C-alpha cells in the first residue's frame, strides 16, 4: 500500500514538472510585446441638445385659455318648485315602486332546456360481439334541473339498458319556468343509439 502511494506521488510530480516545462516553452514562443507604444485615444464629450417638443404640444401650450363654463339660461319657475340650491324639482312624482316578491320574480318564464347530455358508455360485451342497438328512457326533470324516476321504455337489446340508465342520471336541464317558478316536468323521453362507428 505504501509502495502504491509512493508511486502515485512520484508520477504526479513528474507530470506536473513536465506541464510546467511545456508552459514555459509556449510562453517563450509568443512574439515579444511591441516596443512602440500605441496611439492614445482621447474621448471627446459632446453635449446633445435637448429634444424639441412636437409642434402640436407647443401650440396647445400657447393657445391654452382658462375655461369658463357657460350656464344655460333657465326659465322662471314658481318659488315653491325651486330648491334652495338652484335646481328645479321634477314636476311629477317619482315612478311607482314595484313590489318585490323575491328572487323568483326576476326569473323569466321559459321552456325546458337540456344543458348537459353525455353519451352513454358502449357496453364491453356488445362491443366485443359487434352489436348495435338503441334504448328509449323516460324520466322526470326536477325543479333544480336534475333527473329522477328513470325507466327504460323499450330497447333493442337488454345489454344496453344499464348503460343508458347511467347516462340519463348525468343529464342536467334548465327547468321549465312558469310565472317565475321552476316546474317539475314529468314523462321526458330520450333515445340512446349505440353505433359501432361512433
Give the DSSP per-residue string, the chain.
-HHHHHHHHHHHHHHHHHHHHHHHHHHHHSPPPPSSPPPPPPP---PPPPPPPPHHHHHHHHT-----PPPPP-----GGGB-TTSPBPPSSPPPPPPPP--GGGGSPPB--EEEE-PPPPPPHHHHHHT--EEEEEEEEE-TTS-EEEEEEEEES-GGGHHHHHHHHHT-EEE--EETTEE--EEEEEEEEEE-TT-
**How do the domains of the chain map onto residue ranges?**
113-194
Residue whose cell numbers read 424639441: 52
Task: With 0.85 as the threshold, say if the pTM is over it.
Answer: no
The CATH number of domain 113-194 is 3.40.50.1000: no
pLDDT at 102: 47
- Strand-pair partners of 116: 172
Residue whose cell numbers read 325651486: 82
pLDDT at 146: 93
pLDDT at 20: 86
Residue whose cell numbers read 322526470: 140
List the pLDDT tens digit at each of the 198 positions of the chain: 767 878 888 988 988 998 888 888 887 765 555 556 666 766 666 666 666 655 555 455 545 555 555 655 555 545 555 444 444 444 555 545 444 444 544 557 788 888 999 989 999 898 888 899 999 999 999 999 999 999 999 999 999 999 999 999 999 999 999 888 988 999 999 999 999 875
Amino acid at each position: 500500500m505504501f509502495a502504491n502511494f509512493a508511486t502515485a506521488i512520484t508520477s504526479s510530480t513528474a507530470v506536473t514538472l513536465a506541464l510546467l516545462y511545456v508552459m514555459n516553452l509556449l510562453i517563450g514562443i509568443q512574439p515579444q510585446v511591441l516596443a512602440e507604444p500605441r496611439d492614445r485615444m482621447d474621448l471627446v464629450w459632446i453635449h446633445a441638445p435637448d429634444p424639441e417638443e412636437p409642434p402640436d404640444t407647443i401650440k396647445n401650450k400657447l393657445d391654452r385659455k382658462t375655461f369658463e363654463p357657460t350656464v344655460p339660461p333657465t326659465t322662471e319657475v314658481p318659488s315653491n318648485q325651486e330648491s334652495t340650491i338652484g335646481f328645479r324639482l321634477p314636476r311629477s312624482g317619482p315612478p311607482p315602486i314595484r313590489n318585490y316578491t323575491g328572487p323568483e320574480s326576476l326569473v323569466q318564464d321559459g321552456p325546458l332546456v337540456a344543458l348537459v347530455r353525455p353519451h352513454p358508455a358502449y357496453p364491453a360485451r356488445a362491443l366485443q360481439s359487434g352489436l348495435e342497438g338503441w334504448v328509449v328512457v323516460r324520466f322526470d326533470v326536477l325543479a333544480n334541473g336534475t333527473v329522477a324516476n328513470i325507466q327504460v321504455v323499450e330497447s333493442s337489446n337488454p345489454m344496453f339498458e344499464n348503460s343508458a340508465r347511467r347516462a340519463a342520471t348525468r343529464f342536467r336541464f334548465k327547468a321549465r319556468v312558469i310565472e317565475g317558478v321552476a316546474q317539475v316536468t314529468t314523462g321526458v323521453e330520450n333515445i340512446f343509439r349505440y353505433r359501432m362507428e361512433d
